[in-house]
Structure 1
């Protein structure tokens, strides 16, 4: 593919494109609120988030990708924790999320017993099949299956002495065929509507662990959804020569499932997609961005770097090779050229209860918007 790039024109044009960063903050505040309960598998968190995004699309003038509406339904199995989440070690009650997390594959368990020390960080209650592990940092995830034991990770700082005994009451619920939706919309191209550029981000996160604790997921990935919505709002008001498509995926945290389903059941022909840009962890950026698939598509990566250098947007644009670490992956496997970028620097909160809106800087939000807009413009030259 040959690109004709007028950097001066791009700079003059994209300088006026950035949405006010207050839009980004409002979106991140909303998506991380208690109402959406971590955009996961309890309290209808994921369903509420999908409905919110679809409403935003409609309000901007985005059209559904399918005649059936914005939603593309699919399902998968998932282990959830909607109820009791209690842990007492040596008579001391620990706080879910902050002091401990339950392994996402764990079965529910209730009871108490003495602990056997296996090694310096592992303690076992054999009768109830409970495994406690001491950790420097607690990081949660999602499981599609249930084990025959209960694993619990404890922050080392939460204990003042070696664990001797345990009292636990944890409830799990295994959900077969959990119903989720990709949220898909587009703005028809004015010149070449059969040529498509897609912007994607996953909107799901980890949800809740018990009745009192949820994982807000500000950087991962309310930040990326916010950037996508900002771009969608702009392109709805400023249609491009190519069709601009926007997909917010569900099921990313459970194994990039929403994007896999879409590529197996595409709502638009994949051979019409000229390029896809996936954004995840877009809330920082003082150390620049890393671009996955940069070495696979060197011409497009060089173009991205040129736009960044001329605009002086980000301090670094770092190349990375192919990786199955977000929703771009299944498109690449189907032959769709795609980049996945994530920001670097700033906060270290990730898959924990500390990934909250108030500590997410969003300090490179406008720069990311301008860079993405310049890249989209250049792809259509």
Structure 2
């Protein structure tokens, strides 16, 4: 009888974990879909994502962090490319996102001209302030300002001859006060509600480059949001002694603006946050995970390592020091203990049009979910004994 019960428990746990992965894939499909249009600055992509996350928190039964609304609104400036995005080199039309990208601060232009070669990869049109650079790999980003020049990065494999004649028809639109929202929720603790474990992930991505090309952002960071939402649903069903809080930040890609705003206008007292775990790009894992701030918080990092050794969740957990590379950073600067976790290995798509849900392996997604729930339980036990 005991063996039968054990077998049934194992089967049940695998079924539940499998369901978590199915849910995660569905979430990533939605967040990186054409409907969300890169969760950025055109076609209301970021707002659609914010509404989806808010509705998910509500459906799971979480409470708004301020008791009224899941959204914490703010605004910032951004340069966008909502319309025309045409480039011809030597009479050959190139495809935005695949064959070329722009430096995100570039101004719009409509010109025909010639290029002068400066070195093996750099070409200029001084009259129109155009710089063209040949690249082996294209990555894109966003910028909070617009410049008086245009920088074009072209995939070297997209052209067979050196660029001499150039034709551009590019439209940009500078938005001085783009409205955005952090999405903030919590599950109140059953015993120590004033002690908070906070889980964060940014939901914004790059948006679009012209009217036909968008950046899906499946790994960066639909994967982190999916894991956060899975954890939020889990803790809504299983309230903990400590309050479990969740924030999906906007404006990470443009310089951590959303998380900076929250630390300057907190909806919870920062000194009540006992630990923060930030999730960004967690859709792979063949080579394990890396933990930023591991060297700053050695006791918490050893707890994470010990849990992983005991349960054999991940192939490796790598330690990294302090870094200003995601939304944990401004919390760290305010004295909030925090880790930033990201997976390693697998696909190399990053800030490009190839970061797709259908090619995201989610290799260690379930194991990372289990490790995090164990880690949070271990943190509460360790903190309560101090």
1:316 corresponds to 2:323: no
Name the counterpart of 1:143.
Answer: 143
Name the counterpart of 2:27.
Answer: 27
Name the counterpart of 1:344.
Answer: 344
Which range is displaced more, 65-74 or 219-228?
Answer: 65-74
Segments of 4+ moved more than 3 angstroms: 14-19
Name the counterpart of 1:58.
Answer: 58
Name the counterpart of 1:378.
Answer: 378
Name the counterpart of 2:279.
Answer: 279
Distance 1:330 1:126 in 2: 40
Q: How does 1:61-100 map to 2 (within 5 A)?
A: 61-100=61-100
Name the counterpart of 2:155.
Answer: 155
Name the counterpart of 2:249.
Answer: 249
Distance 2:337 2:252 in 1: 20
CA deviation map 1:295-350 (0-9, x unaligned): 00000000000111111100000000000000000001000000000000000000
Distance 1:160 1:317 in 2: 44
Q: How does 1:290-329 map to 2 (within 5 A)?
A: 290-329=290-329
Q: List alignment gaps of at least 5 residues for structure 2.
A: 1-9, 382-386
Name the counterpart of 1:105.
Answer: 105
- Residue 378 of structure 1, CA deviation: 0.5
Name the counterpart of 2:125.
Answer: 125
- Residue 129 of structure 1, CA deviation: 1.1
Distance 1:288 1:161 in 2: 42
Distance 1:194 1:379 in 2: 15
User: What is the TM-score of this pair, normalised by structure 1?
Assistant: 0.95
Distance 2:127 2:167 in 1: 13
Q: How does 1:209-288 map to 2 (within 5 A)?
A: 209-288=209-288
- Residue 274 of structure 1, CA deviation: 0.4
- Residue 167 of structure 1, CA deviation: 0.3
Q: How many residues align?
A: 369
Distance 1:262 1:198 in 2: 13
CA deviation map 1:173-226 (0-9, x unaligned): 000011000000000000000000000000000000100000000000000000
Distance 1:314 1:139 in 2: 29
- Residue 15 of structure 1, CA deviation: 6.0
Name the counterpart of 1:3.
Answer: none
Q: Higher relative CO (CA 8 A, sep ≥ 6), structure 1 or 2? A: 1
Name the counterpart of 1:6.
Answer: none
Q: List alignment gaps of at least 5 residues for structure 1.
A: 1-11
In structure 2, the residue corresponding to 1:213 is in which secondary structure? coil
Distance 1:165 1:281 in 2: 40
CA deviation map 1:138-180 (0-9, x unaligned): 0001101111100000000000000011000000000001100
User: What is the TM-score of this pair, normalised by structure 2?
Assistant: 0.94
- Residue 67 of structure 1, CA deviation: 3.0
Distance 1:110 1:311 in 2: 59
In structure 2, the residue corresponding to 1:261 is in which secondary structure? helix
Distance 1:50 1:308 in 2: 33
Conserved 8 A contact 1:15-1:370: no
Distance 2:60 2:80 in 1: 34
In structure 2, the residue corresponding to 1:351 is in which secondary structure? coil
Distance 2:372 2:282 in 1: 12
In structure 2, the residue corresponding to 1:224 is in which secondary structure? helix
Name the counterpart of 1:9.
Answer: none
1:167 corresponds to 2:167: yes
In structure 1, the residue corresponding to 2:376 is in which secondary structure? helix
1:333 corresponds to 2:333: yes
Conserved 8 A contact 2:20-2:230: no
Conserved 8 A contact 2:101-2:154: yes
Distance 1:129 1:272 in 2: 52
Provide the aligned C-alpha RMSD in A. Answer: 1.2
